[in-house]
Chains A and B, each alone.
Chain A
Amino acid sequence: MNRIGGRSNTGEGGEDPDRFTVDDNGDLRRSAIKQVASGRFGVTSHYLVNADEIQIKVAQGAKPGEGGQLPGNKVYPWVAKVRGTTAGVGLISPPPHHDIYSIEDLAQLIHDLKHSNPDARISVKLVSGTGVGTIAAGVAKGRADGIVISGYDGGTGAAAKTSIKHTGLPWEIGLADAHQTLVMNGLRNRIKLETDGKMMTGRDLVVATLLGAEEYALSTAPLVVLGCVMMRVCHIDTCPVGIATQNPELRKKFAGDPEHVVNFMTFIAEEMRELMAELGFTKIDDMIGRADLLEQREDVIGEKAKQLDLRSLLYRPNPENQSAHFGTSEQEHLVGESLDTTMLMDSCLPAIENKTPLKRSYPVWSINRAVGTVIGSMITKRYGAEGLPEDTLDLTFTGSAGQSFGAFVPKGMTLRLVGDSNDYIGKGLSGGKIYVHPHEDAPLEPEKNIIVGNTSLYGATSGEAYISGIAGERFCVRNSGAKVVVEGVGDHALEYMTGGTVVVLGDTGKNYAAGMSGGVSYVYNPRASFEAHCNRELVELDQLEQHDADELKTLITAHVEHTKSPIGNRILANWDEEKTHFVKVIPTDYRNMLKAIDTSIKEGISEEEAVMAAFDESKRAKAVVK
């Protein structure tokens, strides 16, 4: 797609960084569009800076509202690596984004992602549905650069049978709704409108243009071009044409070629051009939103179909002014007004360039959102996934931080927050470190007071965070690698977590560790009150073994060192007794995989082979017998 100026989409499963560099023949294999979905699989700073467009998938046209599922037998070791999860352990994309509960939250995520890569466009994928126009207007006001209206017709071969038919709505309805609403509210020219959902021909694209789209996504047809025979077995890892599988034996059967897609797209463009010529258009811009050129067919069969009245679908608002019908201007993202750009940049840029350690302090207020994110993106752009040596930029902020403090910060950045923080602190943490503790003059007992807001460290992939105080709800959801110490959490903590270590030195809210499929957690439980709060569907509660206790002690020691945590201090002071008050939370499947890998390594197999062997074994165990 990069060859022909198109854009492919990673989907929600991350992307192998191997694709981020240009091949010898000049091909760039990376997908221009990086998707950010609720699972945040592999959403690191490195991933985001390698995007031309970042797409927030709010939902998909096929099986809307269901979220994605990847069965364990398809999570091959290299898939797990890209996704930041454990091989052989099934993955669930939560139906909602845990950091989006309102349109303001969405605007915040758009803001965060824009700051994580100021050069990329941010688009939002919505599902064709009743009232999608209102949502689209909100998204446009939330400063998205693009909106995708996704129809029900396409969709994955892995969808449940009950979700394939009679689910969702055609893109035509949602597109017309969104386009008309945006035009009528004077918002249409701020954004680009894209549509998808089983678009197969140039004619489909022409109809989409007339209904208001200027961009189009195709997938079923190009897949067929590459050899897909619509087996509908994408989810069971038996794709006989080597497309929807990572099984090396089946991959050998893949017969597709990039040339095939190039040819196909050329034909699509050619058909579109022919139809445009028939309609008398020379430019797409003149065609967008010309719904008045579409007519309802009279020759339909079927009593119900005959009663359809498509007039409101084919309505064209503001007919005199064609320039109100397509994207003509840029959204104002205010990246230039962020704390990073106005205050941090001057001193940090030379430090980044020369890899010289820098220690600075700044005040921070709640209006400063996504502090550190732009600086972080600069480090990643310059040094890739490697980042800088630990603690190169050691920045201290005093005050009450705004939302998304330290979002996506990479290795080499250490952010110390003296004070407190709003929601989303450490979102997508990508190797950086975040320390939070109250000001030394504050008369508060940290372990009894909330210090950071909701949805902290959502989708963190690596790095460390030490928080002296209690966190709000949905703490460390979808963490896949960060090491975190905190002194209490609200409800739904660690939901869908797939990796990393989380230590809680205080009480937890209910539904702890729901859907957690990887990583471990140690919870301080002196009153034996934790068991009732833990969701034990996927996890088990264990006693600590010696190596667990050692790891825990190291983390608490670091916590005390960085935050002067009183409760941490107390626990360490009486360690031999206190360590018995900790309970270890570990997902069953994850533990079994670790055990299998461990056994293999002890038998002298390399780690890579051990992972593969453990994966094969779990696959065999899960294989349905007759």
Chain B
Amino acid sequence: MGKATGFMEIERQVPKKRDPRDRVQDWQDIHVTPPKSDIEQQASRCMDCGVPFCQAGTNVPGSDEIGCPVYNLIPEWNDLVYHGRWKDALERLHKTNNFPEFTGKVCPAPCEGSCTVAIDDDAVTIKSIEWQIVENGFKEGWIKAKPPRKRTGKRVAVIGSGPAGLAAAAQLNKVGHTVVVYEKEDRVGGLLTYGIPDVKLPYETVMRRVRILEEEGITFKTNVNIGETISWEQLNNDYSAVILCTGAQVPRGVSDVPGHDAKGVHFAMDFLTQNTKSLLDSKHEDGQYISAAGKNVIVIGGGDTGVDCITTSVRHGAKSIAQFDINKIKGETRNDGNPWPLFPLTFAKEDGHKEAEAVYGEDPRAYQWLTTRFVTDDDGVLVGLEAVQAETVFENGQKLRKPITGSEKVWDADLVLLAIGFTGPERELLEQMGVKTTNRGTVDAEYGQYNTSVPSVYAAGDNRRGQSLVVWAIHEGREAAREVDRYLMGSTILV
């Protein structure tokens, strides 16, 4: 175990990131590699719990996750890191997580919320320890391609190269199946590449892993839209099994709000995707992106995607930024309905918030604002929005937003970014394939089984689950690969 009394002696210390004032000047990674000794010391805070909630990976109905969804063996590799056994720690980490370099940077870390130290102290810095285990592994050259010794002769197609698709492909390839990953965009990675800003998860980090996967024998085909470029029939003929990992990309809109079609109202994902594509293609020189430069930006939606919009807008040089959150400001401590070990619903300042604060002098968040109308000039160009503050109330089991009279306000806005979630996967391909969907619009495939209504077709990740975390996508990709292997071979050694 770590050091028995480590949690009593050492304080939690998260590795420092680049100074917000400096980092908003460029598009470089915001992370800074901490000294190894710091990480070893932080790992010693782990208590090696008799019942380690951090690795439990459970969903409590009606609530958030408890513990790591990929069941990372956290106490074990914390102990190894504490004892300086970094290579062993890396092996232990790779047992459960194919891509710790992604989760180590962008996971909201339900593990830390469930850490036993966090009952009334600060959690072990599990996320940054994970990140450093894998970064150190790359630095030392320990992470190399390990192609399978034998091929089974079975061909599997994975549609979508986001975290679920990559994890499924990696696992299937490991047991000898021939895997082809199809991506409709021009670059591999799905949301890892185009959803998450490059400063948080650089494209190079994704490609570093993809190159290893290619060396191991996986084929990636970009700019292929299944259903258009290749027909479903042909795909079905060419492969023994197919895994759908297309994500939940249909954004939730504001069609009930007057003026929603104003010029200057965009979906967050369009904004983020175009930005990263233009950045990677030409360092923004092609101008093929929605610019926030000199604009009053309002981000609608208090979640992570909203924060990513802030991160990007700050770097564009927006005139002002506000982020609308429909909910009340969260408390510093957990409330009664959100006890440990549930994911803590407490106030947190994300990287984007810190950057906006550094540039504009204040936290960009505005709480309980409900947009009632988008205001345009005569040309239909957005100039502002009308909003009212609202109470969230539950009546007859229905969640209602009740406007507070007298709180109406007109906000200046030249650019509105809608980051209020996704409604589900894109439907065209699913309809063409004849895959049954649930009433939520997600693919109908049972958790743990992943088989859809169409024989030999499986589904994993957001298109089955609805929008979720990278770590859940990896988890589902791994498990779906297990089920496909079982289907193809009759039994499986994958977990």
Chain A residues in contact with chain B, CB under 8 A? 157, 227, 229-233, 236, 238, 240-241, 249-250, 253, 255, 623-624, 626
A238 touches B83 (CB 8 A): no
Q: Kindly report which residue of chain A lies nearest to residue B83, judged by CB atoms.
A: A626
With A238-B5, A250-B8, A626-B83 in contact, is A233–B50 under 8 Å at CB? yes
- Chain B positions 1-32 with a Cβ under 8 Å from a chain A Cβ: 3-5, 7-8
Shortest CB distance B388–A (Å): 41
User: Would you give the shortest CB distance from B89 to chain A, in whole angstroms?
Assistant: 16
Q: How far is the CB of A236 from chain B (nearest CB, A)?
A: 5
B50 near A240 with CB under 8 A, answer no
Chain A neighbourhood of B5, CB < 8 A = 238, 623
Give chain A residues whose Cβ lies under 8 Å from the Cβ of B49: 229-232
Taking CB atoms, residues of chain A closer than 8 Å to B117 are: 240
Question: Does B410 sit at the interface, judged by CB under 8 A?
Answer: no
Q: B40-70, CB under 8 A of A: which get 1 and which 0?
A: 0000000101110100000000000000000
> B120 in the interface, Cβ–Cβ < 8 Å?
yes
Residue in A157, A229, A232, A253 whose Cβ sees the most chain B Cβ within 10 Å: A229
Considering the complex of A and B, which 5 residue pairs feature the smallest CB-CB distances, nearest first? A232-B50, A230-B51, A230-B50, A231-B50, A231-B49
* Chain B contacts for A233, CB-based, 8 A: 4, 47, 50
Given A236-B4, A250-B8, A626-B83, verify A241-B119 contact (CB < 8 Å): yes
Inter-chain contacts of A253 with B (CB < 8 A): 119-121
Structural contact, B8 and A238, CB atoms closer than 8 A: yes
Can you show 16 pairs from A to B with CB atoms below 8 A apart?
A157-B50, A227-B119, A229-B49, A229-B50, A229-B53, A232-B49, A238-B7, A238-B8, A240-B116, A240-B121, A253-B119, A253-B121, A255-B120, A623-B5, A626-B3, A626-B83
Residue of A nearest to B118 (CB): A240
The residue on B at minimum CB distance from A619 is B5
Shortest Cβ gap from A449 to chain B (Å): 54
Contacts of B51 in A (CB 8 A): 229-232
Residues on A with beta carbons closer than 8 Å to the beta carbon of B4: 233, 236, 238, 624
Docked CA distance A623–B44 (Å): 15
A240 and B7 within 8 A (CB): yes
Residues from chain B with Cβ under 8 Å of A236 in the complex: 4
Q: Which of B47, B53, B120, B121 contacts A238 (CB 8 A)?
A: B47
Point out which of B53, B83, B120, B121 has the most chain A C-beta atoms below 10 A from its C-beta.
Answer: B120
Inside 8 A of A240's CB, which chain B residues have their CB? Answer: 7, 47, 116-117, 119, 121
B residues 108-122 near A (Cβ < 8 Å) are 116-117, 119-121
Whose C-beta in chain A lies nearest to the C-beta of B1?
Answer: A233
Complex alpha-carbon distance, A477 and B216, angstroms: 70
Cα A236 to Cα B7 in complex, Å, equals: 13
CA distance A624 to B4 in the complex (A): 8
Q: Shortest Cβ distance from B43 into chain A, in angstroms? A: 12
Chain A min CB distance to B40 (Å): 10
Contacts of A227 in B (CB 8 A): 119
Most buried by A among B53, B83, B116, B117: B116
Contact B47 A231 (CB under 8 A): yes
Query: What distance in Å separates the Cβ of B495 from its nearest Cβ neighbour in chain A?
Result: 20
Q: Do residues A229 and B83 form an inter-chain contact, with CB atoms below 8 A?
A: no
Q: Least Cβ distance of B210 to chain A in Å?
A: 39
User: How far apart are the CA atoms of A240 and B52 in the complex, in Å?
Assistant: 13
Interface residues on B, range: 10 to 19
Question: B121 — which chain A residues lie within 8 A by C-beta?
Answer: 240, 253
Name the distance in Å between A625's Cβ and chain B's nearest Cβ.
9
Chain A residue, CB-CB nearest to B6: A238
Q: In residues 70-126 of chain B, which contact A (Cβ within 8 Å)?
A: 83, 116-117, 119-121
Query: How many angstroms from the CA of A178 to the CA of B47 in the assembled complex?
Result: 41
Report how far A624 CA is from B51 CA in the complex, Å: 23
Q: Smallest Cβ distance from B1 to chain A, in angstroms?
A: 9
Report the separation of the CA atoms of residues A241 and B121 in the bound assembly, to the nearest whole angstrom: 11
* CB nearest to B5 among chain A residues: A238
Q: Which residue of A lies closest to B82 (CB)?
A: A626
Q: What is the minimal beta-carbon distance from A589 to any residue of chain B, in angstroms?
A: 21
Question: Given A231-B116, A240-B116, does the pair A249, B47 have CB atoms closer than 8 Å?
Answer: no
CA distance A236 to B3 in the complex (A): 11
Q: Tell me the complex Cα distance, A249–B83, Å.
A: 27
Contacts of B53 in A (CB 8 A): 229
Identify the closest chain A residue to B341 (Cβ): A229
Q: Give complex CA distance A238, B53 in Å.
A: 17
- List, in ascending order, chain B residues with CB within 8 A of A241's CB: 119
B278-329 with Cβ < 8 A to chain A: none
In angstroms, Cα B47 to Cα A233, docked, is 9
Q: When chains A and B are docked, how far (Å) is the Cα of A426 from the Cα of B268?
A: 84
Bound-complex Cα distance A515 to B115 (A): 40
Q: Which residues of A contact B83 (CB under 8 A)?
A: 626
Shortest Cβ gap from B233 to chain A (Å) = 43
CB proximity of B46 to chain A, nearest CB, Å: 11
B120 proximity list for chain A (CB < 8 A): 253, 255
Complex: A624 Cα to B120 Cα, angstroms: 25
A157 vs B121: C-alpha distance when bound (angstroms): 22
> CB-CB < 8 A to A230: which residues of B?
49-51
List chain B residues, Cβ under 8 A from A626: 3, 83
Nearest chain-B residue to A247 (Cβ)?
A: B8
Q: How far is the CA of A332 from the CA of B47 in the complex (A)?
A: 53
Report A65 CB to chain B, min CB distance, Å.
23
Q: Which residues of A contact B50 (CB under 8 A)?
A: 157, 229-233
B90 → chain A closest CB, angstroms = 21
CA–CA, A334 and B330, complex, Å: 69
User: What A residues does B116 contact at CB under 8 A?
Assistant: 229, 231, 240
Give the most central of B4, B53, B83: most A CB within 10 Å.
Answer: B4
- Given that A626-B3, A626-B83 are known contacts, is A229 also in contact with B8, CB under 8 Å in the complex? no
Give Cα A230–Cα B3 distance, bound, in whole angstroms. Answer: 18
Cα(A157)–Cα(B50), bound, Å? 8
Residue on B with the closest CB to A253? Answer: B120
List the B residue with the shortest CB-CB distance to A227.
B119
Interface residues of B in 158-200 (CB under 8 A from A): none
Task: Give Cα distance in the complex from A241 to B51, angstroms.
Answer: 13
Which residue among A232, A238, A250, A626 has the maximum number of chain B CB atoms within 10 Å of its CB?
Answer: A238
A157 to B120, CA, bound (A): 21
* Contact partners of A250 in chain B: CB under 8 A: 8
The answer for the CA separation of A157 and B47 in the assembled complex, in Å, is: 14
Q: In the complex, A626→B2 CA distance in Å?
A: 8
A178 to chain B, nearest CB (A): 31
Q: Which of B8, B53, B83 has the most CB of A within 10 A?
A: B8
User: In the docked arrangement, what's the CA distance between A229 and B53, Å?
Assistant: 9
B8 and A249: CB pair below 8 A? Answer: yes
Chain B CB count within 10 A is highest, among A230, A240, A623, A624, for A240
CA distance A617 to B7 in the complex (A): 20
Q: How far is the CA of A250 from the CA of B50 in the complex (A)?
A: 18
Q: Hey, which chain A residues are within 8 Å of B3, CB to CB?
A: 626
Contacts A227-B119, A238-B7, A240-B121 aside, 8 further interface pairs with beta carbons under 8 A come to: A157-B50, A229-B119, A230-B49, A230-B51, A232-B51, A233-B47, A240-B116, A623-B5
Identify the closest chain A residue to B3 (Cβ): A626
B9 to chain A, nearest CB (A): 10
**B51 nearest CB neighbor, chain A only:** A230
A242 to B, closest residue via Cβ: B120
Q: Which residues of B contact A623 (CB under 8 A)?
A: 5
Minimum CB–CB distance from A233 to chain B (whole Å) comes to: 7
Chain A residues with CB below 8 A from B47, complex form: 231, 233, 238, 240
A232 to B75 CA separation, bound complex (whole angstroms): 14
A425–B64 alpha-carbon span in the complex (Å): 64
Q: Which residues of B contact A232 (CB under 8 A)?
A: 49-51
The residues of B that contact A229 with a CB separation of less than 8 Å are 49-51, 53, 116, 119
Least CB distance, A195 to chain B, in whole angstroms:
25
* CB proximity of A324 to chain B, nearest CB, Å: 43
A626 to B81, CA, bound (A): 12
**Cα-based distance from A249 to B120 in the complex (angstroms):** 12
Distance in Å: Cβ of A229 to nearest Cβ of chain B = 6
**In the complex the two chains form, what is the Cα distance from A240 to B8 in whole Å?**
9
Contact code string B116-148 (vs A, CB < 8 Å = 1, else 0): 110111000000000000000000000000000
